[in-house]
Structure 1
Amino acid sequence: MRFLFSLTALLIAFQTYSDELPTCMENAQTQLEINQCAGINLLTVRSKLENLLEKIKYAYKSASPEFLTKLDVSQKAWEKSLKADMEMKYPLEDKRLQYGSVYPMCASGFESRLVLARIEFLKEWLKGHEDGDVCSGSIMHSYSIQRDCSDIGK
């Protein structure tokens, strides 16, 4: 429980500074500072992914319970794939020793790119489809999403 509290506090602190990331990187003088900025960026990107997933779940909560189940399955599979991709990119056991002091920066940057790709993929479910899109599958019509999500953030 204490670990969870500490992690939450750390994430809140990183989120507070995430808006200052360009300044963070511009002002970073040491590899440690650059690594910290890259870590902040990764936490920010992951937070955006979580927010997007919550919005999708909210938009589709009454439309398709099957979709929500499949979304959870897809996200878990993606997380597993992300972990495998990270291990493929940096396969050696002692990463700091093998890849050097830049490893945290490089790994955070690589993971951020993968998370951003996932975000772009999932945005389609919030954008919705237009009239005539016969291949939309589980993606709702854009009108329905706008109507159902009009109270998000209120």
Structure 2
Amino acid sequence: MENAQTQLEINQCAGINLLAAKRKLVNVLEKIRHAYKSASPEFLTKLDVSQKAWEESLEADMEMKYPLEDKRLQYGSVYPMCASGFESRLVLARVEFLKEWLKGHQDGDICSGSIIHSYSIQRDCSNIGK
């Protein structure tokens, strides 16, 4: 982005940043599915339900932020940059939320729910990405 000089280049950089955020989300979801594959099948089903609901909420939030039909005309040439930036923030917030399942819980955490113990996650995820 530092070298971008035109609005088109800035828009493209924002799009690249959005793709990177989406890759982080996919990566976190894959790691969770791997770490929790021996957990209850109900958890993985609920993860899929949660992700689908979040994706629908993301679309609704994007439409709420930029509700007009002809977005380029109404919001101008900066629209792709602005929309990509806004969506990136929402995606990265989801990534941070989901990371709780990768951190795991510690001994004595009685409210951990579906989050498995951190020892199990470290052992199960030790070879991911290598």
Amino acid at match of 2:100: E
The alignment covers a number of residue pairs equal to 130
Alignment match, 2:121: 145
Q: 1:26-105, aligned counterparts within 5 Å?
A: 26-105=2-81
* 5+ residue gaps, structure 1: 1-24
Deviations 1:82-107 (A, max 9, x none): 00000000000000000000000000
Matches of 1:88 and 1:79 in 2, distance apart?
A: 14
Alignment match, 1:109: 85
Structure having the higher helix fraction is 1
Alignment match, 2:101: 125
Q: Offset of 1:64 from its aligned partner?
A: 1.8
CA RMSD of aligned residues (A): 0.6
Alignment match, 1:4: none
TM-score by structure 2 length?
Answer: 0.98
Amino acid at match of 1:147: R
Which structure is higher in RCO with an 8 Å CA cutoff and minimum separation 6? 2
* 5+ residue gaps, structure 2: none
Q: Percent identity?
A: 88
